[in-house]
């Protein structure tokens, strides 16, 4: 089959055979296929979708476009967590030290923020000196030494994804479930994991527009993970309002430190313990997810998770003096409080809008080469369900760019809805999915 025929076949809704999928992906990733033919094929895939067999071949082909990390000589069941991205989602930075402190090896390759969503790498890099660009041998060596390492994608890992993602990003073909599945799972399978916990977000600030699409994505991810022999499960979790109270890189690191030191009973820690508990259970270090959650809470209470966090910072070249003494950190030039205009109960905080405003403050990027200001961001003083009085602070904005504060304040005020009546809270964790129910 020619490339033209492969594009036509997908366009007309037929299932591609493995050779046809391999032809597209491997030729494209080795300069043998023009961008315009790949772009047309990606848009056809966007409209026609892929069967689970096609998605598995896509993932496998992408996976084998580069090197695979072999962690078999490190003892233990290696578990990672992947989130589809949200606003204020810093769970990775809290659960990685918890789970590693439980004795579970955690090989974690994370991403950067783009658009309204933040990225674990950007948050970690707000710690002065913190490095995320280690080689694969260095990554392996750090996991062997301290049980955990958090890095960015290396050039050797799934090069096909880098090229395909760059093209999808400019051709409006990002939001295709099989393409997302191939992209996520090829990178996760390359990490050398044995099991994977997925946090698939749903709601205004989530990548997927509806709950049904989030469930569909989760099922696709689980299907591919299990097909490759990796125990895979997913939680569908709320991203209607930001997670936790901080949005912005260093602000989020401060929040992580707060949670690691004295735990909290809020949405952020409920979700973090749930995911950590599942990881610990999947690793065989707990008898159930609930037992894993108990272990997770213990590891915060006894200081082990905090110590592991310091150990990670030091191992990855971070300046731990900023962790021990955060007052040293540079301060943003401007801060500005947004206050409630009426008495009532917070019924919604639009996560998408909060994410976009935080980008305008300097905390994120709209294009991949935008520069991030680690100090910029937003602190939320109230969350959904909270009672509020007129004049009470809702949020504080931090930025070096005075020009944007007024429009940011106006947008954030509109992003918060206040109701006269007490608010019925939607559940944070909507669904649990694994191979038994999908």
When asked if residue 213 is in the footprint of its own copies (CB under 8 A), the reply is no
Following CA atoms 218, 289, 231, 163 in sequence, which dihedral angle do they give, to the nearest 10 degrees? 50
Name the minimum Å distance from CB 8 to its own copies. 4
Q: What residues numbered 122-161 form the site for its own copies, per CB under 8 A? A: none
The side-by-side arrangement of strands in the sheet containing 416-419 is 387-388, 344-349, 416-419
Scanning 316-346, the segments in alpha helix (DSSP H) are: 321-324
3-state secondary structure of 380: strand
Task: Give just the sign of the alpha carbon dihedral 72, 74, 78, 83.
Answer: negative
Q: Could you give the string, one character per residue 173-192, with x where binding to its own copies holds by CB under 8 A and - elsewhere?
A: x-------------------
| Choice between 15 and 156, CB closer to its own copies | 15
- Tokens 């977000």 -> residue: 201
When asked if residue 46 is in the footprint of its own copies (CB under 8 A), the reply is yes
Scanning 126-176, the segments in alpha helix (DSSP H) are: 136-146, 159-171
Name the minimum Å distance from CB 207 to its own copies. 14
Residue 348: closest CA among 424, 272, 248: 424
| Choice between 242 and 355, CB closer to its own copies | 355
Residue 246 · residue 252 · CB < 8 Å: yes
Number of residues that bind its own copies (CB under 8 A): 21
Burial of 21 (0-12, 13-18, 19+ CB in 10 A): buried
When asked if residue 52 is in the footprint of its own copies (CB under 8 A), the reply is no
When asked if residue 346 is in the footprint of its own copies (CB under 8 A), the reply is no
Which DSSP string do the residues of 410-423 spell out, in sequence order? HHHHHHEEEESS--
Residue 379 Cα distances to 110, 269, 395, angstroms: 24, 17, 5
When asked if residue 200 is in the footprint of its own copies (CB under 8 A), the reply is no
Phi, psi of 223 (to 5 degrees): -55, -45
Joined tokens for residue 81: 């967590």
Residue 40: closest CA among 65, 15, 5: 5
Active-site positions read: 82, 161, 168, 183, 187
When binding is defined by CB under 8 A, the residue of 16, 38, 121, 221 that contacts its own copies is 38
Residue 127 · residue 158 · CB < 8 Å: no
When asked if residue 365 is in the footprint of its own copies (CB under 8 A), the reply is no
| Choice between 2 and 327, CB closer to its own copies | 2
When binding is defined by CB under 8 A, the residue of 16, 21, 25, 42 that contacts its own copies is 42
When asked if residue 435 is in the footprint of its own copies (CB under 8 A), the reply is no
When binding is defined by CB under 8 A, the residue of 18, 22, 39, 67 that contacts its own copies is 39
Name the minimum Å distance from CB 24 to its own copies. 13
DSSP 244: S
Number of other CB atoms surrounding residue 57 within 10 Å: 21
When asked if residue 34 is in the footprint of its own copies (CB under 8 A), the reply is yes
| Choice between 19 and 35, CB closer to its own copies | 35
When asked if residue 167 is in the footprint of its own copies (CB under 8 A), the reply is yes
When asked if residue 7 is in the footprint of its own copies (CB under 8 A), the reply is yes
Residue 312: closest CA among 120, 165, 168: 120
When asked if residue 372 is in the footprint of its own copies (CB under 8 A), the reply is no
When asked if residue 171 is in the footprint of its own copies (CB under 8 A), the reply is yes
When binding is defined by CB under 8 A, the residue of 17, 22, 37, 67 that contacts its own copies is 37
Task: Give the span between the Cα atoms of 147 and 97, in whole angstroms.
Answer: 9
- Only one of the segments 35-43, 73-81, 345-353, 384-392 lies at the binding site for its own copies (rule: CB under 8 A); that segment is 35-43
- Only one of the segments 5-13, 59-67, 134-142, 402-410 lies at the binding site for its own copies (rule: CB under 8 A); that segment is 5-13
Residue 259 Cα distances to 6, 114, 240, 272, 308, angstroms: 51, 25, 22, 10, 14
When binding is defined by CB under 8 A, the residue of 21, 24, 25, 44 that contacts its own copies is 44
When binding is defined by CB under 8 A, the residue of 19, 35, 290, 406 that contacts its own copies is 35
| Choice between 38 and 143, CB closer to its own copies | 38
Interface residues with its own copies (CB under 8 A) are 4, 7-8, 11, 34-40, 42-44, 46-47, 167, 170-173
């Amino acid at each position: 089959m020619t490339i033209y025929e492969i594009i036509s076949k997908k366009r007309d809704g037929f299932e591609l055979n493995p050779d046809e999928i391999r032809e597209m992906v491997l030729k494209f990733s080795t300069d043998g296929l023009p961008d315009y033919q790949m772009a047309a094929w990606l848009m056809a895939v966007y409209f026609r979708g892929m069967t689970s067999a096609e998605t598995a071949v896509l993932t496998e082909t992408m996976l084998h476009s580069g090197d695979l990390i072999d962690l078999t000589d490190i003892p233990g069941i290696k578990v990672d967590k992947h989130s589809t991205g949200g606003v204020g989602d810093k769970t990775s930075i809290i659960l990685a030290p918890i789970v590693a402190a439980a004795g579970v090896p955690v090989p974690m390759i994370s991403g950067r923020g783009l658009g309204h969503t933040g990225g674990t790498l950007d948050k970690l890099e707000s710690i002065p000196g913190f490095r995320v660009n280690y080689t694969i041998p260095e990554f392996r060596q750090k996991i062997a030494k301290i049980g955990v390492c958090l890095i960015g994608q290396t050039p050797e890992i799934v090069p096909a994804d880098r090229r395909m993602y760059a093209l999808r990003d400019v051709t409006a073909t990002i939001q295709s479930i099989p393409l997302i599945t191939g992209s996520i799972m090829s990178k996760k399978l390359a990490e050398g994991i044995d099991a994977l916990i997925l946090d698939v977000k749903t709601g205004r600030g989530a990548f997927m527009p509806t709950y049904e699409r989030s469930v569909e994505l989760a099922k696709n991810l689980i299907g591919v993970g299990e097909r490759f022999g990796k125990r895979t499960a997913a939680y569908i979790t709320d991203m209607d309002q930001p997670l936790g109270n901080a949005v912005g890189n260093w602000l989020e690191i401060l929040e992580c430190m707060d949670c690691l030191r004295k735990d909290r009973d809020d949405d952020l820690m409920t979700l973090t313990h749930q995911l950590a508990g599942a990881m610990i259970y999947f690793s065989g270090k707990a008898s159930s997810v609930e037992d894993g959650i108990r272990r997770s809470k213990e590891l915060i209470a006894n200081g082990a998770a905090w110590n592991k966090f310091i150990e990670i910072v030091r191992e990855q070249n971070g300046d731990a003096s900023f962790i021990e003494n955060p007052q040293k950190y540079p301060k943003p030039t401007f801060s500005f409080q947004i206050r409630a205009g009426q008495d009532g109960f917070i019924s919604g905080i639009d996560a998408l809008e909060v994410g976009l405003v935080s980008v305008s403050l300097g905390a994120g990027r709209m294009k991949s080469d935008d520069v991030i200001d680690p100090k910029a961001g937003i602190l939320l003083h109230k969350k959904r369900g909270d009672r509020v009085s007129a004049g009470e602070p809702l949020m504080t904005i931090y930025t070096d760019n005075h020009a944007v504060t007024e429009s940011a304040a106006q947008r954030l005020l509109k992003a918060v809805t206040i109701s006269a009546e007490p608010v019925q809270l939607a559940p944070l964790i909507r669904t649990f999915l694994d191979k038994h129910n999908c």
